[in-house]
């Protein structure tokens, strides 16, 4: 029972830190530039979700969940990159 409580606490901390990191990054990256497009938003959300799932897999010692999280994180990064490229093209950069 005590071990499960510690694992749950660690998981909650990892998830909270992940969302704080994404929020700070999004706040820094935005300025007078155009708002993010759908691919950028979905990519960043997928990346954060993948990081959380990967961390959960590490905490629970679940290799399957860890791998799924890693794949999801990398798919999110790729989608975010596509959205960034799309925005740069639209802005003529």
Which ranges in the chain belong to alpha helices (H)? 2-29, 38-60, 63-91
Condensed to tens digits (0 to 9), the pLDDT of residues 6-45 reads 666 666 666 766 666 656 555 555 556 678 899 999 999 9
pLDDT higher at 53 or 30? 53
Phi, psi dihedral angles at 92 (to 5 degrees): 75, 25
pTM for the whole structure: 0.63
SS3 5: helix
- pLDDT above 60 for 71: yes
Extents of the domains making up the chain? 2-91
**C-alpha to C-alpha distance for 91 and 14, rounded to whole angstroms:** 36
Which tops the pLDDT comparison, 21 or 72?
72
């Amino acid at each position: 029972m005590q071990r499960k409580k510690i694992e749950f606490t660690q998981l909650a901390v990892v998830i909270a830190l992940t969302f704080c990191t994404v929020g700070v990054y999004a706040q820094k990256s935005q300025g007078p530039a155009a708002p993010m497009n759908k691919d950028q938003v979905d990519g960043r959300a997928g990346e954060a979700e993948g990081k959380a799932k990967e961390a959960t897999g590490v905490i629970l010692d679940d290799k399957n969940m860890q791998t799924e999280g890693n794949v999801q994180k990398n798919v999110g990064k790729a989608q975010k990159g596509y959205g960034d490229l799309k925005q740069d093209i639209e802005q003529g950069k």
